[in-house]
Structure 1
């Protein structure tokens, strides 16, 4: 999976997690926060891919790459939506 796949994976995970997060309902302008969650998912997935390649933990297309990118994106979206709900 190349960089376009990582961006797509991060965007899908970010948008889905931002939409399904329970604190999303307490935020004013929830659709603006959804796009922020999507962006956070993309950035987190890209960072996870770069860290994995730098450390040699996985190679392009490994199953571990998918799992790590999804988990990083979920954590980033959880933090982003949680912080947005506190405002």
Structure 2
């Protein structure tokens, strides 16, 4: 998975994570909450890819890369939407 795959994964995880999060209605307007979720997912997936390659956990294109990047992106979205709703 190249960087284009990370962008597509981040967009999909950000939109889905924001839509299914139970606190999304309390997080303010739709546009800003969705933008925050997508940005958090992109940062999370990119950070997971970079950290995984730096530590040698996986190399570009290996099967373990997808679930690790997805899990970290979901975690970033969950935390960012929850923190935005609590402010």
Q: Matched residues in 1 for 2:43 and 2:53: separation?
A: 15
Structure 2 unaligned residues grouped into runs of 5+: none
Shift of 1:19: 1.3
Deviations 1:15-37 (A, max 9, x none): 11011100001222133101110
Q: State the partner residue of 1:83.
A: 83
Unaligned runs of 5+ in 1: none
Q: Match of 1:39?
A: 39
Give TM-score scaled by structure 2 length.
Answer: 0.94
List structure 1 runs of 4+ shifted beyond 4 angstroms: none
Instruction: Count residues with an aligned counterpart.
Output: 87
Question: Where in structure 2 are the equivalents of 1:1-87 lying within 5 Å?
Answer: 1-87=1-87
Q: TM-score, normalised by structure 1?
A: 0.94
**CA displacement at 1:61 relative to structure 2:** 1.3
